Amino acid sequence: MTRIFAKTKLLESQIDEYLNDTSQVGLLFLEAIKDYLEGRLEEFESRRQQVGELENHADELRRDIKRQLYAETLIPESRGDVLGILENTDEVINAAKVTLTQVSAEHPDIPDELDADFIELTDYGNRAVQELVMGIRAFFRTAGVTDFVHKVSFWEKEADTVAERLRRRIFAMDEELACKIHRGSFVRHIDTVADQAEDVSERLSISAIKRSI
């Protein structure tokens, strides 16, 4: 009996760790974009690397959690939902990592007057990720998932508004089309983080309804 509870505790801490990683990726993503826009390229690279490491760590954790849930036939009713949520959360981490890798490889040329909008867009993406993480923690304790789901959706819409504004401003500039398209693609990439967070939160709200005893 103590064995069951010890295993439960271990798994619980692994899930917590996974969520910590996700939250940290959101924060690092924001800081990295700020660094890039403000020309601190070394710091940017260092943060990008950290995001890569966190992504690997989160992947390992997720695989181990999945193995334990199936091997020990734990939470049989919610197992599918929990794994679905964790896997979709991984997409959020991936979106951040891919965006940073692209910035690092393609060095987009962002004019200073757009910095504030890019930072605002990234910030909303990060907020969506933070609310999502809290929502998932609440899901494991059947408490107030809806509040967090609502906030994720709010920040995703805010991000969409900023992204649209940015794109309009970019394409209104007197620049080469290639350059405008390049900048526009970064707007889309950064916005993906909030979009992915919203996808997970939708899944989360359905799982929360299913979880009620």
Residues near another protein (CB under 8 A): 1, 4-5, 8, 11-12, 15, 73-78, 82, 139-143, 211, 213
Least distance from another protein to the Cβ atom of residue 195, Å: 27
How many angstroms separate the CA atoms of 7 and 185, rounded? Answer: 45
80 or 111: CB nearest another protein: 80
Least distance from another protein to the Cβ atom of residue 79, Å: 9
How many angstroms separate the CA atoms of 50 and 13, rounded? Answer: 21
39 or 76: CB nearest another protein: 76
109 or 212: CB nearest another protein: 212
Is the sign of the CA dihedral 156, 158, 159, 165 positive or negative? positive
- Cα-trace Rg, the chain: 19
Contact 202, 119 (CB under 8 A): no
Least distance from another protein to the Cβ atom of residue 54, Å: 23
73 or 177: CB nearest another protein: 73
81 or 195: CB nearest another protein: 81
User: What dihedral do alpha carbons 146, 150, 156, 161 form, nearest 10°?
Assistant: 170
Tell me, rounded to whole angstroms, the distance of Cα 162 from its chain centroid: 18
DSSP state of 144: -
Nearest to 166, CA basis, from 114, 99, 97 = 114
